[in-house]
Structure formats: C-alpha cells, structure tokens
A and B are shown apart, each in its own frame.
Chain A
Amino acid sequence: METIKSEYLDYFESYAARHPELTEEDIAIMADPWDVNEDMLLGYVLSLLI
C-alpha cells in the first residue's frame, strides 16, 4: 500500500528522501512500509474528525 505523502507524516520513505547519506543497504535494512507510529497518528487525527 502507498504511504501518505505529507509534510507532517514521516513514513520511512520520506525520511530516506531527506537523508541522501543512506546507502541502498541501509534502506534495505531500515525500510518498513508499515510504520506503526505514523499509522496510529493518522488514525488518531482522522478519528477526531468523524
């Protein structure tokens, strides 16, 4: 599933984009498409608005 593109959500993909010093090996080790913290934050904000 695609991550949400937002200045305020820091899924690993956007973190990696801001840190060019990370090597491909680093990214392979660190990449986590299911960032639980970011998804909890998304869920908290949306739940306040329904």
Chain B
Amino acid sequence: MSNTKRLLDERLIRIEKAVNLEKPDRIPIFALNGPEVAVDYCGRHLKAATWDLEIIRECLPIYYRDMKVDGTSSAFLRCPGTYTTIGSQNFVPNKDGFMQHPEVCGMLADEYEALIKDPFKTLVDKVLPRQYKAFDQPGMLGGLNLAKGALSHLRHTKILQEIDAHCSETVGVPIISANMIEAPFDFLADQLRSFKGISVDMHRCPELVEQACEALFPLLLRWAVTSYPGPPKKIPAIFMPLHMPSFLNPKQFERFYWPTFSRLVNTLTGMGYTVTLFFEGNWSKLYDYLGSLNPHVVGIFEYGELKTIKEKVGQTMCIMGNYPISALKSQSTEECLDLAKKMIDAGAPGGGYIFTTGKAILRGKGLDLEKLQAVHQYVIDHGKY
C-alpha cells in the first residue's frame, strides 16, 4: 500500500470516528474553504483559474498538503464560463474573478400560488428567465441557451469531481462532504423572493410561505438523493449551508423554517446519509431545537460559545467550526495558538469533535496562512486522545 493510500485511510477512520461521536486517535482537521484560497496561496491569478480549471487542479492539493488537513468538501467553484454564457443576474464575477451574489428577486409575490401548484414548472417558466437573461430569448434561442448552460455545467462538474479524486490520490485528503442542497425556506428566500421579499412575505402572506416550503420539500429531497454518488453512506455527507435562521426570531423559525428543514434532515439521516449543517450566523437562541434532530448530523458552527454548543447538542451531533478566522488577520501566532487550545478544551472531551474555522476561508489575501498552518500543527501535536 502506498503512503498516500495509507494516509487517506487513516484520515477517513479518524473522521468517521468523530462523526460517530467516538474518540479518534486525535482531533481531525477539516478544511473549510473554497478552491479560491488555494489559488491565492500558490500565487496564481484567480480570474485565470476560474476559466482554466487546470490551475485549480495544480493548486488545491498543494494547499491541502501544506495545511495538513484530514478532510475537505468537494471542490465548489462557480465558473464564470457557465454563468456569463447564460446571462446570470444572480452570480456575477468581480474584477479579479471572484463570483458575487447580489440581492436578487426571481419570483414575484403574486406567483406563490403557481409555485405551490407546480414548483418545477414555475422555477423553469418564471424564475430562470429572470435570473438568467439568455433563457429569456424568443424562439428556440432561449432553449438553446438552456442547453448551452447545461453542457457547461456538466463539463465543469465533471472536472471538479476529477479534481476531488486527484486530491485524494496525490495528497491523501478524503472528500467528507459532497453534494450541496438547501433547506426549503432558504431556497425560497435566497434567489426566489430575496432577503427583503421573504421578510415582507412572512407578515403579508404567511400561509403561502408555509405552503411554498412544503411544495419545494420533495424537489430538494429528491435532488439530495439523486445527486449523491451511489447508495447512502455515512461519508461523504450531504452538505447544507443554513442562511436565514439567524435573521429570524424563534417564532418565525418555528413556523416557517423548522418544519421542512427538520423533516429534510431527519428523512435523509433516516435513509442512511450523514448531513453536514453549516450554522451560519449565531444560532445560540435555537440550540434547543437542534438537540431533537436525528443522530448522524455534523454541525459546523460559525459563532457561539463552543462549550455551550457542546453541552447543548454534543450528545447527538458531531461538532465543528467556531475558530475565528479574524484571529489569523489581527492576532499574533501565540494568540492564535491560545485560541486553538481553548477550542480543543471546549470541543474535544468525549470525542465527536472536528477542528475547523467558523467561516469558510474564501481568499488568501489579508490572511496569514502561516498562522493557520501553525494552528493546525498545534491541533496535531496537542489534540491526541
């Protein structure tokens, strides 16, 4: 067996034990980042890399090797080649090639009933042409552009999957979180109604918001299952970033978000998948809900007290995240290591803990990645069980 294969197996076992709420040989380290930071780290130009994915293939394994991580998510990159071809309004590249998501509204308030009646048809007829202007062309041209986008999407997806395999084969880093889906309420809010629109709808037409989440639920469930590579497994997990709850009060969360979100998570875990939830923002007012989710959930927490999180949900959920990346900008290496020690003290007892940052590291500019290396080395040296 090659050293790389041995490393890959060791890391998978380490992570699987943590996900199963057991104690591995030491605390695993998860890379919560996009490919963009690897491009910055290797001194390459991001705009060139987003058009030529061979640059990503070169940079990503180097970054993972140097950061000494035990696992990562499948490479996720919005390729401008796809988005500009189809006239995207919702994802646009900035000057150096990083894709930005402006506040956009793809569905009007009076289209709720159509969405509830036939959600897929409404997404295709109403939402796509607003968000992607190339689809809104007369005659066959709109259909041709839809096909162009699909071909580009499939091509990029295939290359990114090959890059994942390349990282595993060359530097022994397993992909522990694969396909990404959204909770129904987030799907409705993000690009259908927009932040502003959904905030108004919860007051003006609350029943329609509830029914829309119910209508979207089967689409998101089916997508989660059919885009997963092969039959259900514990690893890789299905990744679900959670956007809106930290902007909702508990009553709104309970009424609009929780019913379809918890059903989606519990259905998927009941089928044998692990679900990785990225709790964006501060969820401290909502911890009591999370304790009632099925086991086989991994939680990445952006904010909150790790000790409290561990006490509230650590019995059923593997905990990740919480390390503030702002420290890598503004604090000394010693202070960064002190913070890592505090995280280990709070998260590690009893197992079920994976070290990672509270936010995804998107870019290398402005961050001292040597400090991140030092922090990871500290976890390797001091995180043994």
Residues of A within 8 A of B (CB): 1-9, 34, 39-50
Please determine whether B226 and A48 come into contact, CB atoms closer than 8 angstroms: no
Please determine whether A44 and B190 come into contact, CB atoms closer than 8 angstroms: no
A12 → B minimal CB distance (Å): 15
On whether A4 and B227 interact (CB within 8 A), knowing A45-B124, A47-B153, A49-B123, the answer reads no
A19 → B minimal CB distance (Å): 21
CB of B380 within 8 Å of the partner chain: no
B:139-180 near A, CB below 8 Å: 149-150, 153-154, 180
CA distance A21 to B118 in the complex (A): 27
CA distance A1 to B220 in the complex (A): 12
CA distance A2 to B190 in the complex (A): 26
Please determine whether B128 and A48 come into contact, CB atoms closer than 8 angstroms: yes
On whether A44 and B153 interact (CB within 8 A), knowing A4-B218, A49-B187, the answer reads yes
Please determine whether A46 and B219 come into contact, CB atoms closer than 8 angstroms: yes
Please determine whether A50 and B190 come into contact, CB atoms closer than 8 angstroms: yes
Please determine whether A50 and B191 come into contact, CB atoms closer than 8 angstroms: yes
A39 → B minimal CB distance (Å): 4
For B222, what are the chain A residues with a Cβ–Cβ distance below 8 Å?
Answer: 1-4, 39, 42
CB of B121 within 8 Å of the partner chain: yes
CA distance A45 to B132 in the complex (A): 11
Residue of B nearest to A50 (CB): B182
A13 → B minimal CB distance (Å): 13
B interface residue count range (under 10 / 10 to 19 / 20 to 34 / 35 or more): 20 to 34
On whether A6 and B187 interact (CB within 8 A), knowing A45-B128, A49-B106, the answer reads no
Sampled A-B contacts (11; CB under 8 Å)? A2-B222, A4-B219, A4-B222, A6-B118, A8-B118, A9-B120, A44-B149, A46-B223, A47-B153, A49-B123, A50-B190
Please determine whether A1 and B225 come into contact, CB atoms closer than 8 angstroms: yes
Please determine whether A4 and B120 come into contact, CB atoms closer than 8 angstroms: yes
CA distance A43 to B121 in the complex (A): 14
For B227, what are the chain A residues with a Cβ–Cβ distance below 8 Å?
Answer: 39, 43
Which residue of A4, A5, A50 has the most chain B CB atoms within 10 A of its CB atom? A50
CA distance A44 to B150 in the complex (A): 7
Total inter-chain residue pairs, C-beta < 8 Å: 74
Residues of B within 8 A of A (CB): 86, 90, 106, 118-121, 123-124, 127-128, 131-132, 149-150, 153-154, 180-182, 187, 190-192, 218-223, 225-227
CA distance A41 to B223 in the complex (A): 10
For A5, what are the chain B residues with a Cβ–Cβ distance below 8 Å?
Answer: 118
Please determine whether B223 and A6 come into contact, CB atoms closer than 8 angstroms: no
Please determine whether B219 and A50 come into contact, CB atoms closer than 8 angstroms: no
CA distance A12 to B68 in the complex (A): 48
Partner of B218, one of A2, A39, A44, A47: A2
For B221, what are the chain A residues with a Cβ–Cβ distance below 8 Å?
Answer: 1
CA distance A39 to B222 in the complex (A): 8
Partner of A6, one of B121, B132, B192: B121
For A40, what are the chain B residues with a Cβ–Cβ distance below 8 Å?
Answer: 154
For A34, what are the chain B residues with a Cβ–Cβ distance below 8 Å?
Answer: 226
For B149, what are the chain A residues with a Cβ–Cβ distance below 8 Å?
Answer: 44, 48
